[in-house]
Amino acid sequence: MIHLQNVSFNYQRQEVIQDLTLTFPIGQIIGIAGENGSGKSTLLKMIAGIQRPRKGTITIHKASLSRLNAVDVAYLPDMDLFYSFYTAKELFAFYASQFPDFSVEKAMEVAEYLEVNVNVKLKKLSKGNRGRAKMAATLGRNTPYYVMDEPFSGLDPIVRESLIKGLIRYTNVETQSIILSTHELHEVEPILDQLIVLKDGKVIAQDELEAIRFNTNQDAVSWMKNVTKEKVTVNE
Amino acid sequence: MVGEGGYEMTQDFTRDKPIYSQLVDLICGDILKGNLQPGGKMQSVREYSLEVGVNVNTVQRVYKELESMGLTDTKRGQGTFITTDKARISQLREDMKIELINQFLQSISAFGFSKEEIVQSLLRKDGTK
């Protein structure tokens, strides 16, 4: 389990994450939603060990998180041009050289399932295929946690659909968790266990998806709109 | 529906009900229509999860619910099977019928129709087919 205790992060004077306490158990797919600038990417980078909290602590399996034990987290960055000079096959070889838990075989299998040409340079691929290659590289790692920053962003519905199926197919809910940020809530909702809504660096709502539907008769999209509206402050 | 690239498009869900209960209804419908035969083997949780594009934990809950409703049996190491208990399936058929009737009655009374009026129209519609 990953636990954040009173975590804050700021860029100079700008508070990005404010006093956040959150737990991510194993065995769930957890969505992080929120408007642009709500702190989603910063939160994910901290969980992945790429950025360190200015205040508070992050622990993974009860050990304090650092770049060293962040090996338990496979991170998918929100970047379209990503090792663009490599082919997917070369990208997998590079990942294998960096991460002992990386399986070229699994990455190739995911790439085949997602129908990515692994012999073309990433910069020559369409945006959708780059998204697929990135997903294959991430799922090629065998880690308890996958942290994915906007894995579906800017991709067409068919690509999104295939990535979502790839996530179900190539992760094991008994031993792994996925934490992903997304704007495509409607499509992602069926695969989520719980949803966390961020606003101005704070959690304004958090619930299990089935509980949201059961208790409020709303899907995640309308629920999120409502909780976000309620929290709009006077000075906005 | 099969999308480009051969991916089956995922199931669409209504927004006001938990996904697991919509899937339970879907499977009950398949049992009643005979798409799933008594004694037939169901897909594994993972396979079904992939087919409908839904979280594995949610599908696990669906399978548990079906089992506690007595509609499926899980045999250790072999998988999940539709019950061979015909009486249970007839009971399901009756329960569903009553549920649908109650929903229907509620919606017609919401628009001020009487049962008799609707029954007459229903019969007429049947006759003119």
Q: Is residue B18 within 8 angstroms of chain A, CB to CB? A: yes
Q: Are residues B74 and B98 in the same domain?
A: no
pLDDT score at B16: 81
The parent domain of residue B106 ranges over 86-129
In chain B, which residues have their Cβ closer than 8 Å to the Cβ of A27? 57
A25's tokens: 């158990």
In chain B, which residues have their Cβ closer than 8 Å to the Cβ of A29? 55
Probe site for chain A from B13, B50, B56, B63 (most A CB atoms < 10 A): B56
- Per residue in A21-52, is it b (16+ CB within 10 Å) or e — as a string? ebebeeebbbbbbbeeebbbbbbbbbbbbebe
Q: How many CB atoms lie within 10 A of CB B73?
A: 16
State the smallest CA–CA distance between residue A101 and chain B in angstroms.
24
Judged by DSSP in three states, A90 sits in helix
Q: Are residues B16 and B54 in the same domain?
A: yes
In chain A, which residues have their Cβ closer than 8 Å to the Cβ of B52? 190
* Torsion sign (Cα): A159, A167, A44, A187: positive
Q: Which domains does chain A have, with CATH numbers?
A: 2-230 (3.40.50.300)
Probe site for chain B from A191, A222, A224 (most B CB atoms < 10 A): A191
Asked whether the predicted pLDDT for residue B24 surpasses 80, the reply is yes
Q: Are residues B102 and B66 in the same domain?
A: no
Q: Are residues B79 and B116 in the same domain?
A: no
pLDDT in tens, B58-112: 999 999 999 999 999 999 889 999 999 999 999 999 999 999 999 999 999 999 9
Q: Are residues B11 and B47 in the same domain?
A: yes
Q: Are residues B72 and B96 in the same domain?
A: no
Q: Is residue A168 within 8 angstroms of chain B, CB to CB? A: yes
Chain-chain contact of B10 with A161 (C-beta, under 8 angstroms): yes
Residue A64 phi/psi, 5-degree rounding, is -65, 135
Q: Are residues B16 and B74 in the same domain?
A: yes
Q: Are residues B91 and B32 in the same domain?
A: no
CATH number at residue B67: 1.10.10.10
Q: Are residues B105 and B73 in the same domain?
A: no
* pLDDT more than 90, % of chain B: 78
In chain A, which residues have their Cβ closer than 8 Å to the Cβ of B4? 158
What total of structural domains would you count in chain B? 2
Q: How far apart are CA B54 and CA A195, in angstroms?
A: 15
10-residue mean pLDDT series, chain A (236 residues): 94 91 95 94 93 92 71 89 90 95 96 95 93 95 95 89 93 94 91 95 93 89 87 50
Question: What mean pLDDT do residues B17-45 have?
Answer: 95
Chain-chain contact of B49 with A168 (C-beta, under 8 angstroms): yes
